[in-house]
Amino acid sequence: MQLAATMINGPGETMNTNDINPLYPRNAMFSAANTLANGIDLVPASSIPPESIDWLWYGWLARGKVHILAGPPGTGKTTTAANFAAIISGGGPGGRRWPDNTYAQAGVVIVWTGEDGIADTVVPRLIAAGADMTKVLILRGVKERGHPRPFGFKDDIQMLTDAVAQIGNVSLIIIDSIVQAVAGDSNKNSEVRSALAPLVDIAERHNCAIFGITHVNKGSGGKDPLDRINGSLAFGAVARVVMVVARSETSDPSTGTAPSCVLVRVKSNIGPDGGGFEYQIQPIAFQFNTQTIHSSTVRWNETPIEGSAKEILKRAAGDGGALKVGAVEEAEDFLRRQLANSALLFPEIQARAEAAGISLAALKRAKSALRVHSEKQRGAGPASPHIWSLPVVTGFPVTGGVIAPSLLPTGWMDCTLAGGAVAPVAPVAPVEPVEPVEPVAMEPDATFAHMLGYLLDECRREYKTRLRHKNEHEVDFQDRVVDFVLCSVDGLNRASTSKLRSELLNAGIWK
């Protein structure tokens, strides 16, 4: 008793056993009964030596801990997991490195998936990632009395535990999706915590990292990153590190490159949180026997992204998730001017926009609002850039037909929509020749009506969709809409512009 009391009170101090709280039997806390097979395991903290976190990837993946990776469809969650498996399986001195360029420890990886096909999806992704396939083990199921059956987490977890112990040096267990480990209601905290408890035990007992993959709730972009995870809050609570992936809306397919995504650390109880990395999901093909296998792989940007998870996800959504009022209109005006006379390659547009202080997010939204046409440049190889051009006016005879020049207002003969391109039409069967006839001149009023009809439709659309400036008067807003729409037509002289402007402002469309 004296020894135990010294351990509790510190060196050189003793404890009077008569001072023990009478609610507890004398000497019960430090009796020899604590060494028996039954009973609680209660020991002095001084008898437990402290340990540092055993990181597989510092700040992101740790041995002995449960991790969650959540994200929407199309963000490469399983492809990212395959990349992690490849890094660990190919780790060791001079081996594979993590996205931050630090070397990885070598180890064995176990993959249990219920989301994707093993032979046609999981294995090709591992190969595409460059994994050492001899060190990646796939949990295909269970053999019972010689017959295969699916692996049931609740009933078969002990077999998995025994296998991990027998294999040795298991560094990572990937579970896709983590929800399949929950036999009950995945929205109930108590059932989720109870279901995940064996995973916590496996991680701690066998010093391996558990990496569970799951989805985020639809329409949860405005929520706190941790609250976006699908199902019970217990998924994020049990995990020591939670990561979220999201598509970067600031990327654009017109650049000719793969869309970008971001990986952020939204929670960590054992290290720093926040920060992230940008990556791209790139298609890849390889030969296996006589087959061409198509898959995908991850390409990381080694430069870390600074900031909190919420800040990074907002930036990925496009300039903090909400562009300032007027930014899109400014980008629209910019595109109108740049594409007024001819189509341009996207890299050139992007460079000019950057010089003008226009963000890529605003440029993309302006492209959508103006219905800018984007087409890949032909004959320049697979990495050729896209060409942007404004749409062709419909309802006004820019080309085709015969118009008597003397009947048109001055300057209208050269009037073309910015861009000047004409959409291709499908070939038609030849027709029988007919006797030539005299051309019929189009009256100026008919020409004016065609143009006015087109511009009225554009004004209606802009009036309903364009953002108003703060405290902007209705008349000023109408003026701005009309001026913007008139910019879509190049070659109008001052008289024609003034006449059209007056007609548009006095039309009964402003409601």
Q: What are phi and psi of 284, to 5 degrees?
A: -150, 145
Which tokens in the block code for residue 327? 């930014």
Q: What is the DSSP secondary structure assignment for residue 216, as one 8-state letter?
A: B
Bridge partners, 305 (sequence order): 276
Contact 254, 366 (CB under 8 A): no
Task: Name the amino acid, one letter, at 265.
Answer: R
Residues 213/67, Cβ–Cβ less than 8 Å:
no
Domain that holds residue 356: 323-389
328 and 248 in a common domain: no
Shared-domain flag, residues 450 and 481: yes
In a domain, 510, yes or no: no
365 shares a domain with 286: no
Same domain, yes or no, for 469 and 335? no
Q: With the C-alpha atoms ordered 434, 440, 445, 447, is the resulting torsion angle positive or negative?
A: positive
Distance CA 173, CA 450 (A): 67
Sequential DSSP letters for 122-151:
IHHHHHHTT--GGGEEE---EEETTEEE--
Asked if residue 40 belongs to a domain, the reply is: yes
Residue position matching structure tokens 């993946």: 61
| Same domain flag for 13 and 72 | no
Integer Cα distance of 282 and 251 in angstroms:
14
CA 116 to chain centre: 19
Sequence-ordered list of residues with C-beta below 8 angstroms from that of 37, at least 6 positions apart, any chain: none
Residues 332 and 366 in one domain: yes
Residue 272 lies in a domain: yes
Residue 199, number of CB atoms within 10 A of its CB:
21
Q: Is 432 in a helix, a strand, or coil?
A: coil
Number of domains in the chain: 4
CATH number, domain with residue 284: 3.40.50.300
Residue 82 within any structural domain of the chain: yes
Beta strands in 206-275 (DSSP E): 209-214, 241-247, 260-268
The torsion defined by the Cα of 220, 221, 224 and 227, in degrees rounded to 10, comes to 30
Asked if 235 and 376 sit in the same domain, the reply is: no
Instruction: Answer for the pair 90, 131: CB distance below 8 angstroms, yes or no.
Output: yes
Task: Specify the 3-state DSSP secondary structure of 457.
Answer: helix
Q: In tens digits, what is the pLDDT along the chain, a chain of 511 residues? A: 444 443 444 444 444 444 444 444 444 444 444 555 788 989 999 999 999 999 999 999 999 999 999 999 889 999 999 999 999 999 998 899 999 999 999 999 999 998 789 999 999 999 999 999 999 999 999 988 888 899 998 899 999 999 999 998 999 999 998 999 888 888 888 889 999 999 999 999 999 999 999 999 877 767 788 888 988 888 999 999 999 999 887 655 544 556 789 999 999 999 988 899 999 999 999 999 899 999 999 999 988 998 899 889 888 876 444 444 467 778 888 888 888 878 888 888 988 888 888 888 778 878 877 888 888 766 655 556 788 888 764 444 333 333 333 333 444 444 443 444 444 545 545 555 555 545 444 445 666 777 787 788 888 877 877 777 666 778 878 888 887 777 666 556 677 777 888 888 888 787 6
**Which residue type, as a one-letter code, is found at position 20?**
I
Can you read off the two tokens belonging to residue 117? 């096909």
CB 271 within 8 A of CB 53: yes
- 208's enclosing H/E stretch is none
Tell whether omega for the bond before 177 is within 30 degrees of 0, i.e. cis.
Answer: yes
- Establish if 429 belongs to a structural domain: no
Q: Is residue 433 part of a domain?
A: no
Domain stops at, among 13, 30, 47: 47
In a domain, 240, yes or no: yes
- Reference 171, options 139, 199, 135, 201; nearest CA is 135
Whether 281 and 419 share a structural domain: no
Which domain-ending residue is among 264, 286, 319?
A: 319
Note the pTM of the prediction, 2 decimals. Answer: 0.58
Q: How far apart are CA 510 and CA 459, in angstroms?
A: 9
Please indicate, yes or no, whether residues 375 and 409 belong to a single structural domain of this protein.
no
What are the beta bridge partners of residue 144?
Answer: 147
Q: 111 and 217 share a domain?
A: yes
Do 219 and 195 belong to one domain? yes
The 3-state DSSP class for residue 117 equals coil
Residue 131 lies in a domain: yes
Judge if 60 and 43 occupy the same domain: no
Q: Would you tell me how many other CB atoms lie within 10 Å of the CB of residue 508? A: 6
Asked if 350 contacts 387 with a C-beta cutoff of 8 angstroms, the reply is no
